[in-house]
Amino acid sequence: MAQRHAGGSPPTDADTHQGEVAPAPVFKPPRQPFLEVLGSLTQRRTVVLGVAGVIIFFAVWEVAHYVTPEEKQRFLPAVEQVVAEIAYLFAEKNFIADVGTSLYRIYASFFVASLIAVPLGVFMGCFVKARALISPTTGGWRYLPAASFAPLLLVWFGPTDFAKMALLFLGCFFFLVALILDNTLAVQRELIESGLTMGAKRRQVVGITFRAAAPAILDSMRNMIAVAWTYLVIAEIIVATDGIGAVMMRAARFLHVDIMMGGILTIGVLGVLTDITFRIASRLLFPYLRVRR
């Protein structure tokens, strides 16, 4: 018979296990749907999804090649054909020199554009009268297509690197000024008022504003250098002697679509590497942003 307690009550589970505590149930969060609004991702899952997106892109490209009629497949080469052509260009055609030339043009022109646009945008954002004087002009230039200046630049500067880099400069400078102006205006007014209340001088207020806007400014620069990459081929058409754009233009004359697509793919890879570099720089310069997130 079951042993009874004093008073005749039956034994409890706690009595049976002599004080052992039952484990608490493990909480399992509900699975998040793929298209969840305001969802969150771990860094590992972000990388996995990014790689999966790249694989899907190349898979669609490969399928598109093989479903194209055979007589037209030369106009849409397979992925492996384009990759093999890129390897051939590097190994046999000194393509590395063309890539280096294009990188120099992009980075040098963008550096000069940033060297002028960043102080100008911050200056306009800090001083309302300067903004009223300069903003209508710089804002209007954004609507002029940079490519339309190619013939004029050729007349002014001749078939030189300066003409190509001037086109790259025009392609991003005025947009960069507008973005940096917006970044500066987005700084909390209370921060500036606090500085003025504590006796900060005008130069110090500008410094405070710049430091507060610096993460957003770097992000704007990261976005705008992508625009500079989109103008690269147009710039290098001006007397196509060297650079990735020149290689693509020579290939177009003989309908070498695989070389043309290889140039496009090379520009895409270089652009992604540039974007990653800016992201790493942002994490190193502003580590507190990661803590907030």
Q: Which fold, 77-292?
A: MetI-like fold (1.10.3720)
CA distances from 179 to 138, 174, 185 (A): 11, 9, 10
Distance CA 135, CA 246 (A): 36
pLDDT of 74 above 90? no
How far, in Å, are 97, 232, 244, 263, 289 from residue 268 at the CA level?
17, 12, 12, 9, 28
Find out whether 26 and 20 touch, Cβ atoms under 8 Å. Answer: no
From the list 81, 86, 48, 46, the residue with the least C-alpha distance to 62 is 81
Task: Return d(Cα 86, Cα 262) in angstroms, integer.
Answer: 6
Q: What is the predicted pLDDT for the residue at 52?
A: 92
Q: Which amino acid is at 266?
A: T
DSSP state of 287: T
pLDDT digit string, tens, across residues 115-161: 999 999 999 999 999 999 999 988 888 888 888 888 888 888 888 88
**Spatial CB neighbours of 293, under 8 Å, sequence gap ≥ 6:** none
Q: Which two tokens stand for residue 239?
A: 């007397």
Both structure tokens of 57: 């892109």
Q: Three-class SS of residue 98?
A: helix
Answer whether residue 4 shows pLDDT above 60.
Answer: no
Instruction: Quote the pLDDT of residue 22.
Output: 64
Residue 54 has pLDDT above 50, yes or no: yes
Least confident stretch, 89-93, 126-130, 193-197: 193-197
Mean pLDDT in the chain?
85
pLDDT of 11 over the 80 cut:
no
Residue 109 pLDDT greater than 70, yes or no: yes
Q: Which pLDDT band holds residue 1 (cuts at 50, 70, 90)?
A: very low
What is the DSSP secondary-structure string of 205-270? HHHHHHHHHHHHHHHHHHHHHHHHHHTHHHHHHTT--SSHHHHHHHHHHTT-HHHHHHHHHHHHHH
The whole-number average pLDDT for the span 236-241 is 77
Q: Is the pLDDT of residue 201 over 80?
A: yes
32: pLDDT strictly greater than 80: no
Per-residue pLDDT reduced to its tens digit, 144-155? 888 888 888 888
Domain regions of the chain by residue span = 43-75, 77-292
- Mean pLDDT over 209-217 rounds to 92
CB count, 10 Å around CB of 76? 16
